[in-house]
Amino acid sequence: MIGEYKINRTTRRCSVGDRPLEPGEVYYSVVMEADEDFKRIDIAADAWTGPPEETIGWWKNRVPRAEEKKREIAPPEVLIELLRSMAEQPAAAKSRFLLALLLLRKRHLKTIEPTATGSPMGAPAQDPRDETEAKPFEAKSRETMLLMSNLDQSTMEVDVVAIGPSEAGTLQDELIDLIYRDVDELPE
């Protein structure tokens, strides 16, 4: 079961130089364990030397400029449909996995237990090329999550994929472009 943890919002201050982060400035947010809780610190890009040793996770941000349009996340129905449509795009497997994790985190999706078949989810029990002999299928097994939409109770499979540190920034930017839209004014 995934736990729910509260992490403070950005302070828009560099914790290394103890100075305000300026509009348009790139910075890194770092989450670390603090006693029985978690704390977030922000570090300006010019002071960044990599994540501190006790880091649990980190990501790259940019302080928005005043003239920039505000952005809001697309509605859950749109995001779930986007997740479904990405199933047909093998090159988008990593972005699809991250989108699924985001939707799980926001509780628009939930994991469900697959039915016991004795084979990896989505893999046939035997090689379809040889129907005369009952041999185990020798395909590379893959790990998947079986998910259910909390909106319409439909199900879908999402491949679990490894994401390397060098890919994280690019995938984050790609996901932000996919799920956010510009708005003139945010509703109050």
Average pLDDT over residues 46-74: 85
| pLDDT score of 178 | 82
Q: Could you read off the pLDDT of 144-162 as tens digits, one per residue?
A: 899 999 999 999 999 999 9
Tokens 């729910």, residue located: 4
Average pLDDT, the chain: 79
| pLDDT score of 4 | 57
Tokens 């859950």, residue located: 76
Most confident of 59-73, 135-149, 157-171: 157-171
R_g (Cα) of the chain, nearest Å: 21
Distance between CA 105 and CA 102 in Å, rounded?
5
Nearest to 106 by CA among 84, 73, 81, 82: 73
**Does an H or E element contain 102, and which?**
helix 93-105
Average pLDDT over residues 81-110: 91
Distance between CA 127 and CA 100 in Å, rounded?
30
Q: Could you read off the pLDDT of 25-42 as tens digits, one per residue?
A: 999 999 888 777 788 999
Query: For the packed helices 76-85 and 93-105, what is the interaxial angle rounded to 10 degrees?
Result: 150
- Better pLDDT: 2 or 9: 9
Most confident of 14-18, 63-67, 119-123: 14-18
- The answer, yes or no, to whether residue 163 has pLDDT greater than 80, is yes
When pLDDT is cut at 50, 70 and 90, the band that residue 9 belongs to is confident
Distance between CA 122 and CA 140 in Å, rounded?
12
Q: Could you read off the pLDDT of 171-188 as tens digits, one per residue?
A: 888 888 888 866 654 444
- The answer, yes or no, to whether residue 15 has pLDDT greater than 90, is yes
| pLDDT score of 28 | 94
When pLDDT is cut at 50, 70 and 90, the band that residue 117 belongs to is very low
